[in-house]
Amino acid sequence: MQHGYNRPMTKSAPAPLPLEVRGSANQPLGMPAARFLRDYWQKHPLLIRNAFPDFQPPLEPNDLAGLACEEGALSRLIVHDLKRDRWNVKTGPLSEDDFSKTPSSNWTLLVQDVDKWDADVAALLESFQFLPTWRMDDIMISYAEPDGGVGAHVDQYDVFLLQGLGQRHWAISTDPAAPTDFREDIELKQLKHFEPTHEWLLEPGDMLYLPPGVPHDGVAYGGPCMTFSVGMRAPSQAELTGDLADYLAERLPEELRYTDPDLTPAKAIGEIDRQALARLRQALPFAATLDEPTLSDWFGRFITRYRSTQVPAAMDKPLTSALLAKQLDAGAQLLRHPWSRLAWSRHKSACTLYVSGHAYPATPALAEQLCAQRALLPAKKLAAADRELLLALVNDGHLLPQKARRK
């Protein structure tokens, strides 16, 4: 008699999604739109060969150059000095003279919002109606001579890169740990380091979709090329928050103000305490999600700014630590500038002094003393951090050294 046993059921890993598919006139995405949105949208890049069969550019390169010369068009001419690895960026409106000076290779022309200027270019958007129309930003067209491009970079929005003329070599990185720090020596936001994981050569009608955050680099190959970039509108949280705040501010009644009928005598002069933060949360319901350090940091900067534009001016010639110490040793006082407004807050072991909208690291004792006294006579022996704070406040114009009066 044989004794059997039950083998544990194991699930096979799902097959990886293809990175390259073939499109058709009926399916520019190479698949139903619902599947694309489910599997690729904002998740994975996708190359669609023949997305637009027999594609003919709706705009000629000369017409694009002419548009770049228009006053209201947003255009850039980017020339790469390959030997010295220098990038020159000329912002439009451009002129015929700008184009006459371009070399035979290593340059590109970028023109944004071309769909707003040309109805035939705008017609390309009809192929993207599976997306909300309000998500569409613009169609940017880039024309490049051989080896022209803008360098490896990262976009923070979805983009469809449709090859319109010639060939362009695209390289991307799907490495989630790929570095995204930028070069500091040029005005373009180019990546310092770029190691591609996939590379392709796109022909007219091919289209590359890239979700946000994918490092990529496109270079004209073999001859002139033109690429149509269909970009999405992706406002940042900072942009959304700022606009919402402006929207609410315009609609809130003037009589609704910060109030503190429960106020008790201050325990520490100038401190933004937890009771004040609690009142802020009540006055600003949308601030309820902010943590205490963030809320107090915003409020400290806000409440110390004057309604007018009057602000102290920084010293033309900053004092050194040694010179300030010499003045203080001689009995000099530090007078608070009349336009300098102060407050401070503390969280755990950290303390911040706010002066006219700016934040300075401080100790609670000195922060309270600065808020309490308009004329400060510092102690003879100060900790290094306190000396640095006083020097910063003097050089920023908030504290004015005044020599001791002779008796």
Nearest residue to 353 (alpha-carbon basis) of 309, 401, 301: 301
Q: Is the pTM of this model over 0.85?
A: no
Dump pLDDT digits (tens) for 173-201.
999 999 989 998 888 999 999 999 999 99
If asked whether residues 264 and 320 sit together in one domain, one would say yes
If asked whether residues 215 and 265 sit together in one domain, one would say no
On the 0-12 / 13-18 / 19+ scale of CB atoms within 10 A, 91 is: exposed
**What whole-number distance in Å separates Cα of residue 23 and Cα of residue 101?**
40
**What whole-number distance in Å separates Cα of residue 138 and Cα of residue 215?**
21
Within-domain flag for 349: yes
pLDDT confidence band for 1 (50 / 70 / 90) = very low
Domain boundary among 200, 232, 264: 232
Dump pLDDT digits (tens) for 80-104.
998 898 999 999 999 999 999 999 9
Within-domain flag for 1: no
If asked whether residues 267 and 225 sit together in one domain, one would say no
If asked whether residues 161 and 217 sit together in one domain, one would say yes
What is the pLDDT at residue 309? 67
Residue of higher predicted confidence among 339 and 12: 339
Domain that holds residue 324: 253-407
Within-domain flag for 244: no
CATH code of residue 289: 3.40.366.30
If asked whether residues 78 and 119 sit together in one domain, one would say yes
Dump pLDDT digits (tens) for 103-136.
999 999 999 999 999 999 999 999 999 999 989 9
If asked whether residues 196 and 66 sit together in one domain, one would say yes
Calculate mean pLDDT across residues 354-371: 96
Domain boundary among 232, 266, 300: 232
Dump pLDDT digits (tens) for 198-214.
999 999 999 999 999 99
If asked whether residues 219 and 272 sit together in one domain, one would say no
Within-domain flag for 10: no
Dump pLDDT digits (tens) for 227-273.
999 999 999 888 988 888 888 888 888 888 889 898 889 899 999 99
Asked whether the predicted pLDDT for residue 289 surpasses 90, the reply is no
Within-domain flag for 243: no
